[in-house]
Structure formats: structure tokens, C-alpha cells
A and B are shown apart, each in its own frame.
Chain A
Amino acid sequence: GDSVTQTEGLVTLTEGLPVMLNCTYQSTYSPFLFWYVQHLNEAPKLLLKSFTDNKRPEHQGFHATLHKSSSSFHLQKSSAQLSDSALYYCASSGGSNAKLTFGKGTKLSVKS
């Protein structure tokens, strides 16, 4: 079946440094890829999505490029902010089924 592997556990950064959270996937189909962000005591929110190879969607300073050749969809931001501290999930959705396969989540902690 489909699977998503992302940077696990806690990533701690100093404010102003770049953010990169890794995500790779395995899928029988050519999937849609998503990043979700979940702040403390809130619901997950859709941050980015992509289906097209080598396109780079952006939102709130974050971007991610889908590379089908390496099955990757890494999340990046040039300069971390304190408000970026949250739990981030990478997810994929393939075929005619819109079910999402989630990674285990990466907790990002940005400190001043």
C-alpha cells in the first residue's frame, strides 16, 4: 500500500534560520501530495498541495516542490518564525480514492 515517511520527532530551530522538513512517499499511483499544519489544541489545516511534477506551490512563506523522480515533497521556508511552531504532517492521496495516507508528523519548535 501507499506510505509516507517524514522527518520524525522534534525539530528545533532558532528564529530566522531556514526550515526544511523532509517527506518521501511510496505510491502505486501518481499521487497528490499535501502538507498539513496543526497548532497546539487546533485542528490540522491544509498548508500546501501539489500534483504536478516540479511545480512549487507556496503559502504563508512555505513552499514545497513535488519531485516524482525522487518521490519527495520536502517543506521549506527561508526564515523560521516563532509562530511556525506546530506539528506538520505530510500526506499523499492516490488513484480514484481520495483517502489520505499520513506520515507520523514532525513537531517543529522555533525558539528566539
Chain B
Amino acid sequence: EAAVTQSPRNKVAVTGGKVTLSCNQTNNHNNMYWYRQDTGHGLRLIHYSYGAGSTEKGDIPDGYKASRPSQENFSLILELATPSQTSVYFCASGDRGQYFGPGTRLTVL
């Protein structure tokens, strides 16, 4: 099974601060994804990437940026964090079927 890791696993940030969530995959998948999961909303796609250097907007991209500097790494950046971005964030990789990382619990105070 694909190995996807995320860091940090837990993060507390202040409103207006910058937050970077990191994701690494070791299975050479071209596609990588960032989701957030909130009660009542299921999994919602924020950004995704088809390969190094590419990023695409998902369904809820506002307030988030993404960066894919290499095949293995995909970051999600919150330039100005807000309390509404408190959530659990999952990274996934996969080219037909996706494999999820363990998640990052972000709290913005």
C-alpha cells in the first residue's frame, strides 16, 4: 500500500499567522491531493497536482495555496489563517484510487 506521511500531525495557529502543512509520498504517484474534513461536509478537495511544478484548484481553494516542488512533496499553505480553517486536513496520492495520509488536525485561535 502507498506510503503517505504528513507533518505536523497537530498544529495550533493564531489568526493571521502563516501555516504550512507538508505531505510526502514514496510511491512515485503523479497525482497528489489536499482535502479538508469537517463534520457534516465530508471530504472536500482544496488543491491537487498532476506532477512536480503543477497545482490546480479544487472545489474550495479560497484562502489556500499549494506547492509541488517535487514528485514526492506537496504542501498546503495558509498565508493568513482564520478560525474557519480549523479542520482536519488530509493529503492523498494516487493515479487511480487514492491513498490517504494520517491527517493533520489544525486549530486556528
Q: A interface vs B, CB < 8 Å? A: 32, 34, 42-46, 49, 89, 93, 98-100, 102-105
- B101 / chain A contacts, CB cutoff of 8 Å: 43
- Interface size (B, Cβ < 8 Å)? 18
| Bound form: Cα–Cα A22–B52 in Å | 37
Q: B interface vs A, CB < 8 Å? A: 31, 33, 42-43, 45, 48, 58, 90, 94-103
- B48 partner, pick from A32, A46, A99, A105, beta carbons under 8 A: A99
- B95 partner, pick from A44, A45, A98, A102, beta carbons under 8 A: A98
Least distance between B10 CB and chain A CB atoms (Å): 12
- CB-CB nearest 7 A-B residue pairs: A43-B100, A105-B42, A104-B42, A98-B31, A44-B100, A102-B43, A49-B97
- B99 / chain A contacts, CB cutoff of 8 Å: 46
- B90 partner, pick from A43, A46, A93, A105, beta carbons under 8 A: A43
Q: Contact at A46–B98, with CB atoms within 8 Å?
A: yes
